[in-house]
Every structure is written in structure tokens, then in C-alpha cells.
Amino acid sequence: MGEAIVVTSGKGGVGKTTSSANIGTALALLGKKVCMVDTDIGLRNLDVVMGLENRIIFDVIDVASGACRLEQALIKDKRFDQLFLLPAAQTKDKLALSEQSMQTIVAKLKEQFDFVIIDCPAGIEHGFRVAVTGADQAIVVTTPEQAAVRDADRVIGLLEAQKISSPKLIINRIRPQMMKNGDMLDIDDIISILSLDLLGIVPDDEHVIRAANQGEPTVMRPDSPASMGYRNIARRILGDPVPLMNLSVDEGGLFKKMRKWIGLH
């Protein structure tokens, strides 16, 4: 029996889809059987980021409506045999997917996979409720911006109301230099406001944009800072106590010096 994890944020554009793709791929990289589910009906992106857009035949709405079997809609990743994607429908409305059918789909996927990563749409309306409904755990993605933290806070409140126990936090797109100068919200400030366990931090990295455009998740490249962030996150999901990556900007280079290891737990 696998575990369903929803990746959500409230605010759009903070990196839900990028995080879903990279966490899913990183878990597959660590030998787990993973299925990613895109619930952003009408604005599907996860297939593009994964470079699987041209392989879509059936989607999650077809499964929900009984137009095809679940196995028919699952797309196998081109890099890993153990990694699958259940794509969203592009031409339908969000209301086409009900909470009931989502629960059924997620329950079926959990039987076959170690991890079901659910990519949640932005907002807190119907699409959010559907994405969250079958999940056992939640990952809240935020960036070091006031607006993103506010929205994350709202979403955490909604998740708590949905009885999803203690969501975990990812702080995405950190710019160490700005954080050091005090131009960006500090990691400690964000944790103190949201009072959540930090699952990981991901530095802002040009390579993420390049990789997304090429349909290749960042984690495939071992040397990029964001890739290391996501790999650490995947290891922590598996219960590995990986220390937080050092973001110190001094001593010439961002991540060359891993001097100061900060324990997570």
C-alpha cells in the first residue's frame, strides 16, 4: 500500500508542478515506484515539464468517466520504468472531476505504487478540494515572498480542516544573496509564521527553467543546486535524515562550501 502526497501552495507560480515533477523523478531515481497525477484540469502542465506531452491518449477525466481503464491512461516515463504519469484533461472543466472519483482513482493507484504524487491546481476552490481529497500527506510549496507565505498559510488552514495531518513545507526559489541582505524573507521567519516542519529548501536556479523547457526534470542533472535540493527532499520523504543544504554566499561560490550543516530534526 503506497502513500499519496499532494503538492499544493494556494498561490500560482511558486513551483508546484516543478516540485511535483522533480520529487516524483527523484523518488524514482531512488528506486521507488511512483505515479504522478496532474489534477490541474484545463491547464495541464506536468506532462510538458516531464516531456511526455506527445504520449497522452487518455487522461484522468477519461478514467473518472469510465471511458478507459486506469492502466490505459497511465503514461510510462521515458527515463524510468518505475515512473508513471496520469495526465489532466486539457479541454474539460475542473468540475468534470469529482471528489468521489478522485478518491477511487487515488485508492487504486496506491495499491500499485509506492508513492502517488498529486499536483494540485492553484487556488482553493473545487480543484484544490479534489486534489486534496485522496491524499494521505501534503507538501506545501512557498517562495520567500509575503504573498506566497500568506497563501500558504491559508492553504495549511484548509488542509488542517481536511484532517491531513501536519503538512510539510518546501521553500522554493531561495536567493541566498538576497536573503543574506535581508531583501527576502528569511527561512526562519517563514517557518515561524507557518509553524510547519521544513521538508526542504530549493535555491533559485536558472537550470530549472531550462530543464522545464526541455521536458527534462532538473533532478536528472546531478550538479545543479535545485537538483540537490529536490534529491534531498526525496530522501527525507523516505525517512533519511539529510541535513539542510548550506546556502552561505561567502567564500566564493554558493554551494562549494558545505561547512555549516544544519540538522533537520
Binding site for another protein (CB under 8 A): 150-151, 153-154, 156-158, 160, 192-195
Shortest separation between residue 193's beta carbon and another protein, angstroms:
6
- Contact, 7 vs 37, CB < 8 A? no
Of 182 and 253, which CB lies nearer to another protein in the complex structure? Answer: 182
Of 150 and 221, which CB lies nearer to another protein in the complex structure? Answer: 150
Of 226, 81, 233, the C-alpha closest to 170 is 233
Q: How far apart are the first and last CA of the chain?
A: 26
Residue 244 is classified by DSSP as B
Grid-cell match 523518488, residue found: 27
Of 99 and 153, which CB lies nearer to another protein in the complex structure? Answer: 153
Shortest separation between residue 131's beta carbon and another protein, angstroms:
18
Q: How far is CA 252 from the centre of its chain?
A: 31
Residue 7, helix vs strand vs coil? strand
Shortest separation between residue 150's beta carbon and another protein, angstroms:
5
8 forms beta bridges with 140
Of 150 and 168, which CB lies nearer to another protein in the complex structure? Answer: 150
Shortest separation between residue 211's beta carbon and another protein, angstroms:
32
